Structure 1
Amino acid sequence: MTRKFTYTEKELISSLKSNNRDAFEYLYDHYAPALYGIIMKIVKDEEKAADVMQDSFLKIWKNIGAYNVDKGTLFTWILNVARNTAIDRLRLDVKLSKAVNWEHVQEADLTNGVIFNPIPATIDIRAIVQRLLPEKSLLIDLVYFQGYTHEEVSAKLKLPLGTVKSRIRKALNELREIFGVKEVILGAA
């Protein structure tokens, strides 16, 4: 198979959107050095920059269909993907460093008596959700147990989307208090 060594931007975009492997290799070969430079300026660590670079190209691969030529050049779009991924990594690092100060944790603090580690089969989540106000427990049931989206719940209950989202947020905060969870840290996408 012969590999095309140059693309116009229009050809490159078209090839990328059709998941052409050669086009992605071309994209990486021609844009990676510039993206890596930007990423390094943000994260200031070679190992983290390499991870962010990989995550960035994975996001580009998965989301190339969302690229809109009317909103800017391809380079601007991939640069924003890389920049945002690097910033997300910094935020996660800061959040994780604040979550637990491991220097002050003693081994005795990690005994089974201290850590709340319930057996999942013994927890009746639905019963705990039912402790919430009815308008909140209904929303949690619809979204988390029945799989509705926020938009679908909004339409089904004839409530504004913002109301649905804020009630769910408040309900989740109440559930965190019930379970004694101070902060929930989610991984990045």
Structure 2
Amino acid sequence: MPELTFDYDATLAACARGERQALQHLYEQEGARLLGVARQLVRDTALAEDIVHDAFIKIWTGAGSFDPQRGSARGWIFSVTRHLALNYLRSQGREVQVQDTALDALAIATERLDWSGVMQAERIHLCLDQLEPQRRSCVIHAYVDGYSHAEISQKLATPLGTVKAWIKRSLAALRGCMG
């Protein structure tokens, strides 16, 4: 679990200002967890290390584009890493199982859902399976693909209010299921 005192927003802002020490602190705080996520997706430690390296370069160069209105800073750095890993898998023609990536994304969202992380992976799979397909799709688009509620609304041709309600209820159901 991340330190309660670590300020991800301030750290990303410092990275955006070019403060190298901030990137070092971010690496010390999350590097091992990011490596775990990348390794779980690509199933290769050396490749996962390369992906995490590339992710930190992307975090460093893109920190100024982080928008706290679209999600948490911690979620954003994990999203950068996941996207790089998924892009690698797609470029290699390897199939990506949506539930596996949803599992990673949802397990990482600990600060939002108060879960203990990847250790409950199997349980998350079972809980996701209990959601109606459209609601599960909304959660996956939000936490795996990084779509905003408006983007999900457009993608699914569903009213924005409905998408927001589905995600809110789905997260509540997932919390309840995770017990």
Q: TM-score normalised to the size of structure 1?
A: 0.45
Between structures 1 and 2, the one with greater helix share: 2
Q: TM-score normalised to the size of structure 2?
A: 0.47
